Chain A
Amino acid sequence: MKYIDEFRDGEVARKIADRLAIEARGDRQYSFMEFCGGHTHAISRYGVRELLPVNVRMIHGPGCPVCVLPIGRVDMAIKLALEHEVIVCTYGDTMRVPASDSLSLTKAKARGGDIRMVYSAADALTVARDNPERQVVFFAIGFETTTPPTALAILRAQREGLKNFSVLCCHVLTPSAITHILESPEVRQYGTVPIDGFIGPAHVSIVIGSGPYEHFAEEYRKPVVIAGFEPLDVMQAILMLVRQVNDGRAHVENEFTRAVDRDGNLAAQQKVSEVFELRPSFEWRGLGEVPYSALKIRPAFAEFDAERRFGLGYRPVADNKACECGAILRGVKQPTDCRIFGTVCTPENPVGSCMVSSEGACAAHYAYGRFKDIPVVTA
């Protein structure tokens, strides 16, 4: 496949791996966090870890949209479907996120809720146009990547005067999550999570640009390398991070120059700020309440805000006690540190959200990396 295969070339990967082996100093450990689930998925699916020197460790970050979605938010969507009898439209991965009372959107659908998987916010608008007698709510999740399409859907609904379309907005912001991790006691005080640098988001950065990360590099002295989602992008970014660490630099570097510039997509940013404003606080699964870390719909678009239209209140729900998703999302623990990983909690029956999406740290490790936990007996 043109423009894809070039970034999955095994020979080039081998060359970068050789460089890494030479340049990663034997007398120290390197720990880098890949913020995005897209990177987590690429690392697992292509076996990138196998190509890294043993002293280079990757920590999976919280950048998986469904993983950070708290139970209380999914409960709101389920309530809309089962009690308000609206059509709830959402992205595929969201369907399986565990909620209260052993429910999920998939299970609520089996109980009679009209819940539909869509590929885009625009598809949810189509559902609204096709069902004028029903209320349709788009359960909008995701980082800066999926936010502009939601903004466009709301703007279009307003232009068309659609009276049966609204959005349950759960869009969250990348920079505030990174700040939260850097400010967490484990990183800042105890040093239990040594983070030497970040692989910065790919698609998110296309929208927001590389500028917003400069603060982390300066304020926290952590190098950031923005990288594409292909495995060679990840390898190259790791090499660039190792070089920054070796040189004692902490800059924002851009490996993903084919798509990302400093300013990002200004048209998309403009639409987002037209429709959304900052939420003073938002609960993230694993991270807890994080100030100014999410978006809500501006009062000017109140009629398209499902929370207002249906008078929904947010009720926080604690995670299962045995679930370590929170610590895993903060990089404090690894999936295998969790007592219920792979036994009680599996992709078929996820207890924690990290087991839901293939971008989640636990699901990625379960699906692609399990063989490392147990020595394999070869013939």
Chain B
Amino acid sequence: MNVRDDSKGGTVRAGYVRPLDIRNGRIDMGHGAGGRAAAQLIEEIFLAAFDNPFLRQGNDGASLAIPQGSRLVMATDAHVISPLFFPGGDIGALSVHGTVNDVAMMGATPLWLSASFILEEGFPLADLKRIVQSMAAAAREAGVAVVTGDTKVVEQGKGDGVFISTTGVGVVPHGIDVSGANARPGDVILLSGTVGDHGVAVLSQRESLEFETTIVSDTAALNGLVADMLAVCPAIRTLRDPTRGGVATTLNEIARQSGVGMLLDEAAIPVKPEVDAACELLGLDPLYVANEGKLIAIVPAEHADAALAAMRAHPYGADAVRIGVVQEDAHHFVQMNTRFGGRRVVDWLSGEQLPRIC
């Protein structure tokens, strides 16, 4: 039925709502006010991308059926990356991968995600749509559903485009006990691939130091890799993804948590030549540069070969290597035999990794 719209002098279909102007539109305060504009934003951008039975119910929360007798794992992660789009990924994919990986590193199968968005007034709808679609694609690939979410808008100048916070819930299969506190002297330390790719890819896009590089971020969901590893080696002691602070900081965390020391072999740690060169130029150490698609596994020595073979058979672990051993050390030092023939401590990252100047 057509009705007359006197104000504009034309006719429109009953119940018609003008869709969001994705191409030119921008987030305004109304999108966060909980009224029709907010509902439309949710419908056309978030629901359209994340569509699943939980969201379709339209409730304030998701009602989840927990598999009988299983242990739940929950992890949360906030994402504030700049720039929002970088070679190999964007904040959307990253916000799924980061949380999925945190859940997977507990030995769990990630199932559900929540997502909350803090949007800055003036943020282009086209960018938002691109980010949300990228999130949805990442979630589909990882086999998780975004089951609940929230959106808030802050005034211009009070945010940096978009911040995304995600929480993940997963279940741990029976008989799996993976924890940062489980490393034992004699265990072997495995690394799933090259280090520093993500950090360098993001740095290369920073306004102040644009440089040309072919490096792309390694951002990826590692739950598939973890599942394959656990299938052949349920005795895995520790899994951890070396994100901020890099491999060096992650190993120090595990050493402290488990009350052990570690001895690494620098020559075994894979670094792409482009990453190595960029780090050399910027005065950074690849061991402290962030990764988003790599994991460190600590396994009993007798299972190391099987775990390594499983890693190498998976696309996200093709370059997996053995990088060192866990040893007794009351001081929990992570030490490294350098390629040069010396030995040194690989310490925690202190402060930001600032470039050296001469």
Interface residues of A (CB under 8 A from B): 1, 4, 8-10, 13-14, 17, 37-38, 41, 44-51, 65, 91-93, 95-96, 106, 117-119, 123, 141-143, 145-146, 203, 231, 346-348, 357-359, 366-371, 374, 376-379
Contacts and interface: CB of A to CB of B under 8 A. Distances in A.
A93 B276 contact: no
Interface string B120-147: 0000000000000000000000000000
A119 B209 contact: yes
B351 A41 contact: no
Contacts of B358: 37-38, 65, 142-143, 145-146, 203
B10 interface: no
B327 A92 contact: no
Contact of B357 (A96, A142, A348): A142
B277 interface: yes
Interface in B306-358: 325-331, 333, 335, 337-345, 347, 350-351, 354-358
A119 B355 contact: yes
B19 to A, nearest CB: 38
B149 interface: no
A13 B328 contact: no
B343 A379 contact: no
Nearest to B358: A145
Interface string B279-292: 01000010000000
A358 B340 contact: no
B342 A48 contact: yes
Given A8-B340, A47-B337, A376-B329, 16 more contacts: A10-B340, A45-B344, A47-B344, A50-B343, A92-B356, A92-B357, A106-B351, A143-B358, A146-B357, A203-B358, A347-B350, A358-B356, A366-B347, A369-B345, A377-B330, A378-B329
B341 to A, nearest CB: 4
B302 to A, nearest CB: 15
A215 to B, nearest CB: 23
B173 interface: no
Given A92-B357, A377-B328, A48 B340 contact: yes
B335 A376 contact: yes
B340 A379 contact: no
Nearest to B185: A379
A347 B351 contact: yes
Contacts of A119: 208-209, 355
A1 B347 contact: no
B340 A13 contact: yes
A170 B338 CA distance: 36
A38 B283 CA distance: 11
B186 interface: yes
Contacts of B89: none
Given A203-B358, A370-B333, A379-B328, A4 B345 contact: no
Contacts of A96: 351, 354
Contacts of B337: 47
A357 B276 CA distance: 21
A4 B330 contact: no
The secondary structure that dominates the B interface is: loop
Centre residue among B335, B340, B344, B355 by max chain A CB count within 10 A: B340
B341 A93 contact: no
A379 B185 CA distance: 7
A4 B280 contact: yes
Nearest to A91: B357
A221 to B, nearest CB: 29
B344 A379 contact: no
Contacts of A44: 344
B234 interface: no
Interface string B76-114: 000000000000000000000000000000000000000
A107 B163 CA distance: 24
Given A46-B342, A47-B338, A367 B347 contact: yes
Contacts of B277: 1
Nearest to A10: B341
Contacts of A51: 340-342
A46 B339 CA distance: 8
A352 to B, nearest CB: 15
A93 B340 contact: no
Chain A to chain B: the 3 pairs with minimum beta-carbon distance, closest first:
A47-B342, A92-B354, A347-B350
A143 B354 CA distance: 19
Contacts of B208: 118-119, 123
A93 B186 contact: no
B261 A41 contact: no
5 contacts: A10-B341, A13-B340, A47-B343, A50-B341, A141-B357
Nearest to A117: B354
Nearest to B328: A379
A209 to B, nearest CB: 17
Interface string B180-213: 0000011000000000000000000000110000
Given A117-B354, A118-B208, A231 B340 contact: yes
